[in-house]
Amino acid sequence: MSHAAQAPARIVIVGGGHAGMNAARSLRTTLRSDEATVTVIDPRSYMTYQPFLAEAAAGSVEPRHVVVPLREVLPGCEVLSGEAAGVRPDERKVSVEVADGHTRQIGYDVLVLAPGSWSKTMPVPGLAEHAVGFKTLGEAIYLRNHVLSRLDAAASTLDPKLREKLLTFVFVGGGYAGVEALAELADMAGAASDYYGTIGRDDMRWVLVEAAGRIMPEVSEGLGTYTLNLLRDVGFETHLNTTVESIEDGYVKLSDGTGFDADTVVWTAGVAPHPMLADTGLPLDGKGRVRCTPELRVEGQDAVFAAGDCAAVPDLSRAPTEICAPSAQHASRQAELLSKNVAALLRGGRLRRYKHAYAGSVASLGLYRGVAEIYGVKLKGKLAWALHRGYHLATMPTAHRRVRIAFDWLLSLPFRRQIVALGELHQPRREFDRASAGSRKD
């Protein structure tokens, strides 16, 4: 496929997250505008830097600073607000439900699939009604307001059983997303409790439930055990080899026989590839990811590439039968190679294989506490926490966003973080509806 002397090739990217946004940025700098047009389809107008979600929920970082507006960082690309609903590779078309409610068919010469993943849910009674995920900025902001509003409600109730329920917070899934969210929100709620005369840190119950026999599979077993002990030492309740059996009427029943009322259940029990992939006719692996060659091409397809959480890419740094784990690190690096390979395809060059040895993981467990494992070196405590901040600050897109985040952190040194529940953000029409109802009665 050489497009050098023809009309520009149409490159369509589904998803503007870690993989899609980085691929688009890199394609735009690699290919001239007379070689290719680049269209990015995403229902959100921004990329979410998920490793900072826990800090955004805890109020250490301003939520707007952890997202990257696509139109700001993708000059020269078309950004189409919509959700890809299906792909027909035989006709080279993507069907998109665009923001105005219509469905459009978008033709492509090269397609890049990067719609990421969804929260992996289970058929647990009451889950859909009572739990919330932790993958989006909306969920992070909601959780912050929700946790703080539980403190407000607990401080005002005269019912001791209700107070206990309001002050019980359950996190299901002990990967870094769940552990970071639990530790950061508990830290924030602990700081907030100083302002309530009637709620102490020990009045809150923070529970972590994990189906496996260990937490943090992203780090070595030793560091996972260290993290578990640290969580237990600071008072978190942990249940390993345990699943949630039901969450009916706010009563959480665990498989180890434990049961309690809880008003907050956060579901972070892993991710599943985006379900739209199932209807594409493209080859999928057992977990529902698109099967890719090491060149990041979808198997059996000349013009379809994939990267990030939705893609089953052989991990050549381990063994060809191993698949790259879903991580921001792989997604961004795959995006870089993918854009070079798409350029090579259009220019008639040679495609290269993806091989990246995972550098390691860093995680924050609340202010000044963290764990890290970098190229096999294990670190914990303040140093690991500083490394977490330093690493993610360095990989956050755009210089001005890095400066804003650094200032958020600096400002929290002389001033305490701002503790305020803005729950009304989730019901913006409530006050006006009440006013309108009142005026109808008059």
Site residues (vs ligand FAD, CB under 6 A): 14-20, 41-44, 47, 50-51, 53, 83-84, 114-116, 134-135, 176-177, 274, 276, 308-310, 326-329, 331
Q: Which helix (H) or strand (E) holds 286?
A: none
Report the C-alpha gap between 286 and 291 in whole angstroms: 10
Least distance to ligand FAD from the beta carbon of 258, Å?
A: 26
Q: What is the DSSP letter of 397?
A: S
Report the C-alpha gap between 366 and 212 in whole angstroms: 23
Least distance to ligand FAD from the beta carbon of 119, Å?
A: 9
Closer residue to ligand FAD, CB minimum distance, 14 or 58 = 14
Closer residue to ligand FAD, CB minimum distance, 114 or 199 = 114
Closer residue to ligand FAD, CB minimum distance, 82 or 126 = 82
Least distance to ligand FAD from the beta carbon of 429, Å?
A: 25
Name the residue whose CB lies closest to ligand FAD: 17
Least distance to ligand FAD from the beta carbon of 350, Å?
A: 26
Closer residue to ligand FAD, CB minimum distance, 7 or 357 = 357
Q: Is 314 helix (H, G, I), strand (E, B) or coil?
A: strand
CA distances from residue 93 to 89, 109, 231, 247, 280 in whole angstroms, order as listed: 6, 9, 49, 42, 11
Closer residue to ligand FAD, CB minimum distance, 158 or 394 = 394
Least distance to ligand FAD from the beta carbon of 114, Å?
A: 5
Closer residue to ligand FAD, CB minimum distance, 120 or 347 = 120
Least distance to ligand FAD from the beta carbon of 321, Å?
A: 21
Closer residue to ligand FAD, CB minimum distance, 338 or 367 = 338
Report the C-alpha gap between 152 and 146 in whole angstroms: 10
Residue at 211: amino acid letter:
A
Least distance to ligand FAD from the beta carbon of 352, Å?
A: 20
Beta bridge partners of 41: 14, 80
Phi, psi of 315 (to 5 degrees): -95, 90
CA distances from residue 100 to 28, 45, 143 in whole angstroms, order as listed: 27, 14, 29
Least distance to ligand FAD from the beta carbon of 228, Å?
A: 18
Angle 396-108-280 from CA coordinates, rounded to 5°:
85
User: 262 Cβ partners below 8 Å, 6+ apart?
Assistant: 165, 168, 169, 170, 207, 247, 250, 251, 252
Least distance to ligand FAD from the beta carbon of 65, Å?
A: 16
360-364 and 370-374 as β-strands: parallel, antiparallel, unpaired?
antiparallel
CA distances from residue 149 to 249, 251, 279, 405, 423 in whole angstroms, order as listed: 19, 19, 41, 26, 7
Closer residue to ligand FAD, CB minimum distance, 199 or 306 = 306
Q: Would you say 27 and 36 are in contact if contact means Cβ atoms under 8 Å apart?
A: yes
Q: What is the DSSP letter of 439?
A: H
Q: Is 271 helix (H, G, I), strand (E, B) or coil?
A: strand
244-246 and 103-107 as β-strands: parallel, antiparallel, unpaired?
unpaired
Closer residue to ligand FAD, CB minimum distance, 69 or 250 = 69
